[in-house]
Structure 1
Amino acid sequence: MTAEGFQRGASLGLRVLSFATLSIMFTLTTKPTDFLLSLMQQCKLSPKLAYGIMAGYRFLPLIKEEFQTLQNAHRVRGVARARTISEKLQQLKRYVIPLLAGAIRKAERTALAMESKGFTGAKNRIFYREITVSWLDWLFFFFMISAVILSAFISWKLGFLQFYNGEL
């Protein structure tokens, strides 16, 4: 192992660690509904897209429960566990078709419920909860952008960040 290889490996590992840490921090501190409401109100995201994402997000635990129910039902009925590739494809078909049918039924019921409540997907709607961006949000945003720029500058000065100049 060379010193340069070790440095590049450590650099890549630290980059992955930093992005993973930021991602975990974001997912643990942000409520999905508030995040999508903020995207609709501040970034003018289409309500049809945002509410579709929220509905899909709420379906994930339900699909997991249905999958476990299907597995338990197959186990109770004595269906053997798949070992070969062809058996695994058969097993996949046994699980996927009922899960898709259930998901389509749930999506249809959700669409009918939203339509009956008067949801049209219009962008000029009034929100029950207004999500505002405070000065602390802007401060955090500028702090994070500054940290990224500072990190890139330090990496460039130390020779780890090199820009492509057309030569190999």
Structure 2
Amino acid sequence: MQEPVFSYIPGKSFLHTLDPRTKLTAVMLLGILAFRTESFFGIGILFAFFVALTSFSGLPARVFLRAVRPMVLFIIFIFLAQLFFTEGKVLTSFWILHPSLEGLQNGFRLSARFILLLLFAALMTASTDPSAITCGIERMLRPLPLRWLGVNSFELATMMNLSIAFLPLLFERVERTKAAQASRGMYFGKNPFHSVPALAIPLIRGVIRDAEELALAMESRGYQGTRRTSMHELLMQRRDWISLLALVLFAALLLRF
């Protein structure tokens, strides 16, 4: 059975052994770089950097292809919107649509940025245990004065972790719902818009039911939303500091282009 999208794949690679705070910081920094880099050369360097990180992780390529596949239609929409609605040098004309050279460049640039975000996020979730991500987020948010907002760092970390954990389950439920409706005679290729209610209604009911079951399970185990001990004792080691330093130097060099 295939692993769900954005799921954790155990391993003993260099990326698997890094502290989750190191990987969270790296993903945030790489996301900023993806949107700050304007040149196609810089975007190409980011893709090459991702390939290098993937080789260190030992993760199969299908993990990242499955992460991008659900967002293909959204990425195509972004590309077409930039292509047809950006003013500039007109390439050709299609009825009332006038694609421009600047729109083509912006479309490729923006699409590549979203793909990079998905790839780096998939790399982090595939090489980091979800409970370790929760612990890392909680430790990073702990110094912030969140009590003034009526929450604490542990509650926020738990909500983020539940969101990450529910994402692959949501994609898996979509596939199961689609297969169940197809077995009842639903044909999705003839008119996809007519099949939206057949997918959306059971999907929403299933997600709400899963959320209720999770809430009951947490209450039955005495969850109070307060700070608790963790099975992951985080400790930044030498390889973490070296990795962060190397990433900062890489970002500084990339922003110069």
Matched, 1:97 2:201: yes
Q: Which residue of 2 aligns with 1:121?
A: 225
Q: Which residue of 2 aligns with 1:78?
A: 185
Segments of 5+ residues of structure 2 without an aligned counterpart are 1-37, 54-119, 143-151
Query: Matches of residues 14-163 of structure 1 in structure 2 within 5 Å?
Result: 14-18=44-48, 20-21=50-51, 23=120, 25-44=123-142, 46-84=153-191, 88-122=192-226, 124-152=227-255, 155=256, 160=257
CA RMSD of aligned residues (A): 2.8
**Distance in 1 between the 2:41 and 2:171 partners?**
37
Segments of 5+ residues of structure 1 without an aligned counterpart are 1-7, 161-168
Aligned CA distance change for structure 1 residues 100 and 9 (closer, same or farther; 3 Å): same
Greater Rg by CA: 1
Counting aligned pairs with the same residue, the percent is: 27
**Distance in 2 between the 1:151 and 1:132 partners?**
29
| Partner amino acid, structure 1, of 2:162 | A
Q: TM-score, normalised by structure 2?
A: 0.47
Q: Which residue of 1 aligns with 2:23?
A: none
Q: Is the 8 A contact 1:38 1:132 kept in 2?
A: no
3-state secondary structure, aligned to 2:194: helix
**Distance in 1 between the 2:39 and 2:139 partners?**
42
Post-superposition Cα deviations, 1:119-151, rounded to whole Å, max 9, x if no partner, equal 2222x4322332222232122111211222234
Q: Is the 8 A contact 1:46 1:121 kept in 2?
A: no
